[in-house]
Structures are given as structure tokens and as C-alpha cells.
Structure 1
Amino acid sequence: MKKSLTYLLTVCLIFSLVLAACAKNEPKPQTPAAGSEGQSKPPAEQKEKELLTPPGTYPIVNEKVTLKVMVRGNPLVEDFATNEFTKWYEEKTNVHIEWEVVPEQSRQEKLNLALTSNDYPDIIFGINVSAAQQMIFGSQGIFLPLNDLIEEQGVQTKKLFADSPLVKETITAPDGNIYALPDINECYHCSMSQKMWIYEPWLKEVGLDMPTTTEEFYEVLKAFKEKDPNKNGKPDEVPLAFTPKSWRSSIEAFLMNSFVYNPMLSTSTKYLYINEDGKVDASFNKPGWKEGLEYMNRLYKEGLIAPESFTQDENQLIQLGENPGEVILGASAGGHQGVFTQLMGESGRWSEYKTVPPLLGPSGVQYAAYDPLGMTVGSFIITDKAKYPEVALRWADGLYEFEHTLRSNYGRPGEEWREAEAGEIGINGKPAQWSELKSFGTVQNVNYAQTGPGMRSNDFRLSAVAKGEDDLEVILYNETKNKYEPYAPTKVKTLPPLFFTEEQASEVADLAKTLYDFVEEMTARFVIGDADLNKEWDSYLKTLNDMNLNRYLELYQQTYDANK
């Protein structure tokens, strides 16, 4: 009986395998391409189509949809989930967002970990993913191509491309795909954002003029240290302080441009530039870099640079700038005064700091690092986890609208901004379109504080009502126009964002991590004197070569030439 049962089971198993093989080999009906006339779509895509309203209309969907979004933490935003713009935009779009906030300073590490562990959400928002990363994860299918989605649903994005063809060209990868939407911020003062600020009342107190050379700057800092400019009888003045963790605020961002061109306008290509021969080059292995390190070491040894400048975060620097009672901070670097003081704070100190023009170095170098693009790539990405990619694209596309840009970056109409009145003049001297009612730079929960895509064109920004000499945008415009634009480079230039093949991108990312970590470590060590610059410079150069600096530059050169 046992044998008969075994035999029967064996026959059944063989028969099942034969049927499976036949089924496998049998031709399957072809699934039509999405959008083909008279053919059906996959169920998920069909469901999404039924949910969507016509492009450019609101709400975006007929039934509420939830999207999961990874966002860069912003110290000026209390809570993305309860933010007033989040709530307003959800009501308008019928799209609910589940936020995953990652710390600003470790956003790249968190993103890389999420992508490699296959634990990532529908959307990556405001993390500013580099072109190299877009190619790596785009070619793997993790980042979705947006071309067809834009064509079908991107009303505002297509308008942007039509108005600014360079934008589309810049964000299109070599394989023809667009993997990310940008944040457009044609901010005039941001294009030359590597600024130094000095406390002007102290200059008057010590009887010195605004410095114009590195030697004059040294003399000013020395006077700040020795002449008790805050008049409290204590040696508590901090002549110069930085943070490596805020906007254009690291020690080399401004100062090194008096010795060698050093554009740090992009985290992925900082230190790289196009030299006078049209070749991709690096600043950190040049004689001028060594000369700049020697200068900064001199400042440090004489107690003119705060020791914590290499480790403190942005909040600690602001606490220094807003010291209770007397002013103790003489100078600091940053894209605006809010990097080291409280913008519009009760102390009012922020407005008493004025920009130092690019300083003339001992070898005649004097640059204002310049970035003409006015665009941050990789601001919005849809991943292959998204169940509703068209909804996601529509949600981001809406952020380019005029009112939505105002709401997401400034806040509520009538409270943080208003429409311009007849006769009001903008920053550029032309009829204004809108007016800011509360200045940018304070912690709040009504807007995204420049996180994620928006459409702040040059016309948009300069059409804000000019509110006099105390208007932050007016201050930044004038300081940039008068003190920095005259020193914008003419023979060298900043490297634009570049796309690499997947193989190149992976190699570039590995090399950049190794090289930049080493450069930043040694910059700090040379400045504080932990490493002897004269004895160890040759070893430093050799280590850069051993880390394949030449290969790194070669990869950039190949891609730069291919994108000309």
C-alpha cells in the first residue's frame, strides 16, 4: 500500500512539473504600454489615473493620498508635520505627507544608509542629492525618471523649462533622464555668498578703517584683541570665530580667496574650479593654499581665531554673537548675518555687522567666489517605493507656483508677506510685486525656510518691496553689488554640476569622501599648529597623490569636456 501511494504521489508530482513547464513556455498576452489607445493600464497605474484631477488644477486627487517623504532638518523649522504651510498645502492638494526628518549635518550619511539598506520613502526632499548620486541610483532604478511624469503632469515645471532652457539642460543626465527637480533660487547675493562680516562700531572704537588687505585685516583683529573695544575692562573679545556647520561659514570659505581661487558653493564640488587653461583643478594642493594656511596659522597662534571654530555648530556660534550684555564677537564669515547673530533679534546687533570686501593677498590674489547658476540640483526625487508617482510629481510641481513659493518660503499672506501696493518699488528699482512682512532667519512653524523646490527667480526676489536701509535683502544686495561683484573672477570659474556614468559616479563619490575628509582634517591641523606646515606640506601633497587626486580630476575633466 505504501509503495502504491508513493508511486501515485510521484506521478502527480511529475505531472504537475510538466504542466508548470508548459505554462512557462506558453506565450503570454502582451501588456500594452501605458497610454496606448484602446489598451488597459496596470491596476495600480489605472487607479492613480482615476484619482488624479486634470493637470494644473486643485485638489490634485479626488481621494486623500499619503506620501512618505524624507526631508533635511532645518534649524529654522520647528516641525514639518505641524507646519502651517504643510497643513495649508494638504488642504489644497488633498495629499497628506508623512515626514521623516534627518539631521542637516548628517543628511548625506542618513540618505546613503537608507538607500543601501533598501529602507527609504516615496520622496527625497530638500536633501540636495548630487548629480553623481542621481546617476548611481537612477541607473539602478531606485530614483525614477521624471521625464514622462513632467510631460504629462508638470504644468509649472514645463513653464520653468520654457523660460529657462539652461535649467532643463543642467538637470538632464547623460542617459537623457531627469531624476530630480531643482530649487530655483536666482539669488543675487547668494551668487557671491562667501562673505566676511565685521562689527563696525569696533572699527570706529579702535580707530581703523574697513580692511582691504590680509595684513590690514590682521591689524584690525589684533586691535580688537588688545584695545578692549567693548569697553568693559575685560579681555573677553573674540576677534574672529567660525563654524564648519553653517552657510559659507568655515574658516577657509572667505579667507582662502586671498591666496587661491576657492569656490565652496557646492558640497559635491567644493575646492574644484576651472583654471585659466580651461582645465578642472583643485585649490587645496596649490602654493596659494599653503600660503593661506600660513596666514590663518598666524592668526590662530596670536589668539585672533576662536579655538572652537573647528568644532562648534551654528547655534553655538550664534550664542557667541548674541552674548548677553556686551558684544564680544568682532568678525565672522557667512552668507548673511544670521549665521552668527539673530536676524531681527532684540539686540539689533545683526545690522551693525558690515561686509569685508575680498581681501588683497600678499601675492595679489583677490577673489569673490562666484556661482552664476542660482540653482540647487537634487531638491526633489521620487523613488521606486512610490505607489503614486504622478501624484508626487504634481505635489512638487505646484511648489513652483508664485503664491506657493511665497507661502513655502515666507509664510501666510497678510502675516508674513502681502501683495505690493500701487507705487511701491522693488529692490531692483522697478514696480514691486510683493512685500515681506517678517524677515527671514527666525525659528518658526509657518514655512519651510527654503527647504525643497521653489521658483525664486531673480525677477521674483528683486520684485520684493524695498523697505529702506534696514531691509535684509536690500543690505545683502547692496553689500554684494558694491563690495563683491567688482572682484568676481574673469579668468577662472566655478565648476558647474556634472553628471557621471554610474561607474564614474561611484568612483568619484569614493574619491571625494577620502580626499575631502583628509583636506578638512589637515586644514584644521595646519591652522591650529597640530601639524607643522613647513615640515609636513610635502607629505600632505604626497598623500593627496596617493589618494588618487589626479584620477579624481581626470574624471571631472572627462565629464566636463563631454558636457561642453
Structure 2
Amino acid sequence: MQLATGTKMGALALAACLSVSALAACGSNNGASSAESSTGASGGGQAATEPKTEISISMYDRGEVVSAEGNYENNRWTKWINENGPAIVSWVPVPRNEAQTKLNTLIASGGAPDLIWEYDRNYIAQLANQGAIQPIDEYIEKYSTTFKSYLAEHPELKPYLMVNGKMYAVSSLRGVESVANAGMWIRQDWLDKLGLQAPTTTEEFFEVARKFKEADLDGNGKADTVPIVFNSNGPTVMRNLFAAHWGQWYLEDGVLEFGRISDRYMESMAFQKQLYDEGLLDQEYITDKSAQRATQLWTTGKAGIFLGSWDMESLFKDLKSNDPDAQMTALEPFTTKFGKNGLLQSAIPNILVSFNSKMKEDEIEAAVKFLDWMLETGWKPLRYGEENVHYKTVDGAPQIIDAEKFRTEVQYAKEYAVINQYELKPEWFSVMAATDELSQEYAKERANSLTVAMKNKFRRDIPYSPDLPELSQLIATFNPIAEQIEAKIVTGGSSMTAEAGMEEARKEWSRLGGDNVNKLANEWYQQNKAQLE
């Protein structure tokens, strides 16, 4: 059977299980028939006469493999990989929520896989400092072709791969839909009804919110409109409008400063406090931990601005079911006194794949060549599936044929594409969505929202935070205290100003060892400055 190797394709919409990732239907597992011959399959199959070195790779067990498919270690995908790839791979599943604990146990017992991967760069740095993984600069130079070229084309990845001046991991870029992390939405029909434009400054944002509050836009004759609601992303959205993420470090005149104790963070708190004091922000947001109230206010037409995620299909459809004339559209970040800052965007690397320090050179060579193969062509069938079986190509975009078949046979396979060039294009959403009118309407808004979410540069002065145990310990203690202070600032009326609250937060930071952490962080920055650029 012939597997797709053509045009890059992106993730499909969640409702249709659209995270396009499939392989040829190579027979069932768990005692069922073996995979079909891959003679005609794409992915650079290796001649049968060439011996293949065996390697092992960790992976997340997300519980997505149904019994008919086998298990994470043995299924249609693992067989296809071994038939087509340049190495024989055994996969070592670790529970998603206990991955680091399980990997640490395997490392301590000497049973860790050859390739160990994680999203958490601090964990990879920890393994490097412990000697559990090894630097791979010379091996990439010696054995790699595809990844070496890829890294030259994407030098922005390199800082994330470096520990103490040496490369300890390989990675590939996240798809744009994974980098985008937040979104703002506004009722366009409310703007139109009031003759307003989308706000472009802080002052205009306040003006729009005030008019939303004053006008009886739902026509019920009651003053029950809540202009602004949000889910758990909301406070972060407000902070990032001021370039002040609570967990990031920023460079100010060459000196690192922790975001949560910065002047810009204080200004973001003053902004939120004013919204709350004027009744423009939901007065019950603190107790609305699951955003159930915010969701109800939005979907019943009682709110005009939602701060949350860039992809909010259920809110869109529920709102439209209650008010077919409602128009929900993405709102671009507006300018504050600190300029225009982009919405929250995740760090650009996908997973970080490291090499066990106990690997022999023949195993390292096989692993590098396997990763080259995966990055060049191997990932495509693992993400896309078999054309005309799991998807068909429409206007260059993938369209799921049978959502249930896809969910059963290919949903789990994305775990094997540990390094890939998976990329989503907003213009594909209409093709990937269901054909009904409502789904098509949202597909257009979804594409626009992703474009808006990525339109403005998100401020990230250094690619990652210092990997200091003192910092981790401090933040674990400081953050709950800071949250309590911030709640008092926003909801306490005249009892606490943003300035007074920030003074209190800074005192707590210092009391808990923040001055020493500031010193250590800046020493770390000076030592690692070259690899951070």
C-alpha cells in the first residue's frame, strides 16, 4: 500500500479528531496479523540485506491505544517504523503525568532507554549536569545530514539545545498552532451596534468596555452585562499586554529581573484593578476557578469580551446556538504605555531528545540516522495517515474521511514522530472542518484568531529561565503568596493600591531569598550569555 509523502499538513480540528496523523492500515496487532509489506511505502525504507542497529526511545503513554491496535510497544506503527526506518526501535512508554519520576527510576537502575525526551528543558539540563546524558555536537557533525541542515536553517532552536556550552539534545520547531497560547475575543456585532471600532489602545479598551456595560445589548431591560470575562488564561493575557509574564525573566539594561516583581507587572495589576473597580470585570472571577460562570455569561450573551485561548470552538457554537446573530471575532492586542506586546506564545522547540550517556558509538550513529530519517520523511505517515483511507487531500489540505477510524487507528501515532516538520496552515481550517454552516463559520474565525494570535511579537528576552534549584524552591514558596497579594490589589478597593501591593510582594521575595536568587540568576546569565543568543 502507498503512504502519503506529499504536501505538509497540519492538525485537524478537535471536533473531527483532526490532529492528522496516520499510517497505512497495516493490519491489527495484539496477536493479530503482522504489518503488511512496506515495499511501496514512503519513508526511505532500507534494503533488507542491510543489518539495522537496535535502539530504544522513551515516549509518553497517554492511554490512547485501543486493544485492537495493540499497545505502545507493539502496533501497526512500531512495525512500520522498523520496516522503513534505518534502525530497529523499541519504545519505552512512561506515564504522561509521571514521566520524569519514571525516567529517573530507569536512569538510576541502569535501564533507561537510549533516547530520552521531555518538553521540560530544565529536566534535560538536570540530566546533563548529572551525567545521565551526553553532549552530541561531534556526533551530529559526523553522522547527521538532515538535522544538521535543519538546524542551520533554524538557528533560533540552538539555545534550547545547549547546556554548559555543548549540545545535549535535538529538537524541531513546534507547529504554529502549538506556539500560539492565548487569545482575546470580542462581540463584533456589539461593536457594530454601538458604532465602535475594535480598541487599539488601553484608553479605547476602557471606553469600549464601559459602553458595553452601559448599553442594554441583550435587550432585556436590565443592567446585567459583564463587559469582560475570562478563563484561567485571562490574568496571563492581561499581564502580557504589559510584557510582564509572571514566570519569565526580563533583561533591563543588561540585568535580569523576575517578571512578577517588575514595574510592568505592577502596571498590569493597576490595569486589572481599574477594570474591576469600575465593574468592567466579572466581580466573581476569583471564585470562578473552572470558568463555569464566565462561560455561561459569554454563551448567554451577557459578556462582550473574553480573554482566553485562541481556539474556542465550544464557546463560539454555544453562543451561536443561543443567539444566531452573534458575531464573535478575535481581538488583537492593544497598545499600553509599554507599547504593543504579542499574546502569550510558547517556546518554539517541540520535545527535546537527548542521548543516554551509556550509548555506544554504533548506537549513537544509528540514533542520529534514525532522527534524520524521522525529520526528513518518517514523520509524515505518522502524522498524516494513508491517503484515501484516513484522509483525502482537498485544495492542498487534509480532510478526515472517517473520524472514528482515524481516532482508533492513528490518533496515538503522533507520539512516535519525536522530531518532525509538522505544520498547520490557517487557510486549511475550512477544508478540515465539518461542512455544516456553523462549523464553516467558525473555521474562518479560527483561522483569523490564529493569525491574530501570532501577528505581534511576544516578548521573551531570554529563551528559558535559569535552571537553578534555588530559583525553583523560591518560586514554589513565593507564587502562592504573590497570588494572595494580587487578589487583594484587584478586589480590595482603596485598601491596597498596585504600588503598595508590589512593595509587599517585593519584600516577600527578598524575605524568601530573592536577593540571592537575583544574584545567582545574573551570574548564570553572564556565564551562559553566548549560548542564549
TM-score (norm 2): 0.65
CA distance in 2, matches of 1:83, 1:281: 53
Aligned pairs for 1:364-383 (under 5 A) are 365-368=339-342, 375-376=348-349, 378-383=351-356
1:121–1:386: 8 Å Cα contact kept in structure 2? no
Match for residue 272 of structure 1? 249
**Which digits, 9 at most, give the CA deviation of each residue in 1:386-422, with x for residues without a partner?**
99777766665554235624743x65534665557xx
Match for residue 297 of structure 1? 273
Match for residue 486 of structure 2? 523
Once the two structures are TM-superposed, the CA of residue 352 in structure 1 deviates from its matched residue by 4.0
Once the two structures are TM-superposed, the CA of residue 59 in structure 1 deviates from its matched residue by 9.6
Once the two structures are TM-superposed, the CA of residue 219 in structure 1 deviates from its matched residue by 4.1
CA distance in 2, matches of 1:332, 1:123: 46
Q: 1:64 to 1:497 in 2, by over 3 A?
A: same
1:81–1:98: 8 Å Cα contact kept in structure 2? no
Aligned pairs for 1:154-193 (under 5 A) are 156-168=146-158, 170-178=160-168, 180-185=169-174, 187=176
CA distance in 2, matches of 1:59, 1:521: 63
CA distance in 2, matches of 1:216, 1:414: 51
- Between Structure 1 and Structure 2, whose CA radius of gyration is higher? 1
Q: 1:207 to 1:402 in 2, by over 3 A?
A: farther
Q: Secondary structure at the match of 1:197?
A: strand
**Which digits, 9 at most, give the CA deviation of each residue in 1:156-195, with x for residues without a partner?**
43342343344346413225242x33241363x7767553
2:379–2:421: 8 Å Cα contact kept in structure 1? no
CA distance in 2, matches of 1:177, 1:193: 27
Instruction: Determine whether 1:79 maps to 2:70.
Output: no
Q: 1:145 to 1:560 in 2, by over 3 A?
A: closer
Instruction: Determine whether 1:557 maps to 2:519.
Output: no
Q: 1:527 to 1:349 in 2, by over 3 A?
A: farther
Match for residue 330 of structure 2? 355
Aligned pairs for 1:83-102 (under 5 A) are 87-94=75-82, 95=89, 97=91, 99-102=93-96
Once the two structures are TM-superposed, the CA of residue 532 in structure 1 deviates from its matched residue by 3.0
CA distance in 1, matches of 2:55, 2:326: 43
Q: 1:217 to 1:498 in 2, by over 3 A?
A: closer
Quick one: percent identity of the two aligned structures? Answer: 18
Aligned pairs for 1:491-502 (under 5 A) are 493-497=459-463
Match for residue 244 of structure 2? 262
Equivalent AA in structure 2 for residue 79 of structure 1: E
Match for residue 20 of structure 1? none
**Which digits, 9 at most, give the CA deviation of each residue in 1:122-167, with x for residues without a partner?**
388774112x432221121333544566567755433423433443
Match for residue 436 of structure 1? 398
Instruction: Determine whether 1:330 maps to 2:304.
Output: yes
Equivalent AA in structure 2 for residue 71 of structure 1: Y
Once the two structures are TM-superposed, the CA of residue 296 in structure 1 deviates from its matched residue by 1.1
Q: 1:172 to 1:360 in 2, by over 3 A?
A: closer
CA distance in 2, matches of 1:350, 1:403: 46
Match for 1:243 among 227, 231, 234? Answer: 231
Match for residue 26 of structure 1? none
Instruction: Determine whether 1:122 maps to 2:113.
Output: yes
CA distance in 2, matches of 1:236, 1:412: 52
Match for 1:401 among 376, 380, 385? Answer: 376
CA distance in 1, matches of 2:175, 2:243: 22
1:511–1:552: 8 Å Cα contact kept in structure 2? no
CA distance in 2, matches of 1:149, 1:377: 21
**Which digits, 9 at most, give the CA deviation of each residue in 1:338-357, with x for residues without a partner?**
38737899959999432222
Question: Which fold has the larger relative contact order, with Cα–Cα distance below 8 Å and residues 6 or more apart in sequence?
Answer: 2
Once the two structures are TM-superposed, the CA of residue 435 in structure 1 deviates from its matched residue by 0.8
1:380–1:396: 8 Å Cα contact kept in structure 2? no
Match for residue 39 of structure 1? none
Q: 1:221 to 1:413 in 2, by over 3 A?
A: farther
Flag structure 1 segments of 5+ consecutive residues without an equivalent. 1-54, 265-269, 425-433
Match for residue 52 of structure 1? none
Match for 1:197 among 178, 185, 207? Answer: 185
Equivalent AA in structure 2 for residue 256 of structure 1: R
Q: 1:145 to 1:242 in 2, by over 3 A?
A: farther
Instruction: Determine whether 1:532 maps to 2:496.
Output: yes
CA distance in 1, matches of 2:200, 2:326: 21
Once the two structures are TM-superposed, the CA of residue 92 in structure 1 deviates from its matched residue by 1.0
Deviates more, 1:61-70 or 1:290-299: 61-70
Equivalent AA in structure 1 for residue 398 of structure 2: E
CA distance in 2, matches of 1:349, 1:497: 44
2:137–2:167: 8 Å Cα contact kept in structure 1? yes
CA distance in 1, matches of 2:65, 2:142: 29
Q: Secondary structure at the match of 2:171?
A: strand
Q: 1:411 to 1:522 in 2, by over 3 A?
A: farther
CA distance in 2, matches of 1:190, 1:233: 42
The root-mean-square deviation of aligned C-alpha atoms, in Å, is 5.1
CA distance in 2, matches of 1:156, 1:233: 65
Q: Secondary structure at the match of 2:335?
A: coil
Match for residue 9 of structure 2? none
Q: 1:560 to 1:417 in 2, by over 3 A?
A: farther
2:261–2:506: 8 Å Cα contact kept in structure 1? yes
Q: 1:518 to 1:181 in 2, by over 3 A?
A: farther
1:198–1:354: 8 Å Cα contact kept in structure 2? yes
Q: Secondary structure at the match of 2:166?
A: coil
CA distance in 2, matches of 1:156, 1:201: 50
1:271–1:283: 8 Å Cα contact kept in structure 2? yes
CA distance in 1, matches of 2:489, 2:156: 41
Equivalent AA in structure 1 for residue 229 of structure 2: A
Q: Secondary structure at the match of 1:376?
A: coil
Equivalent AA in structure 2 for residue 353 of structure 1: M
2:55–2:90: 8 Å Cα contact kept in structure 1? yes
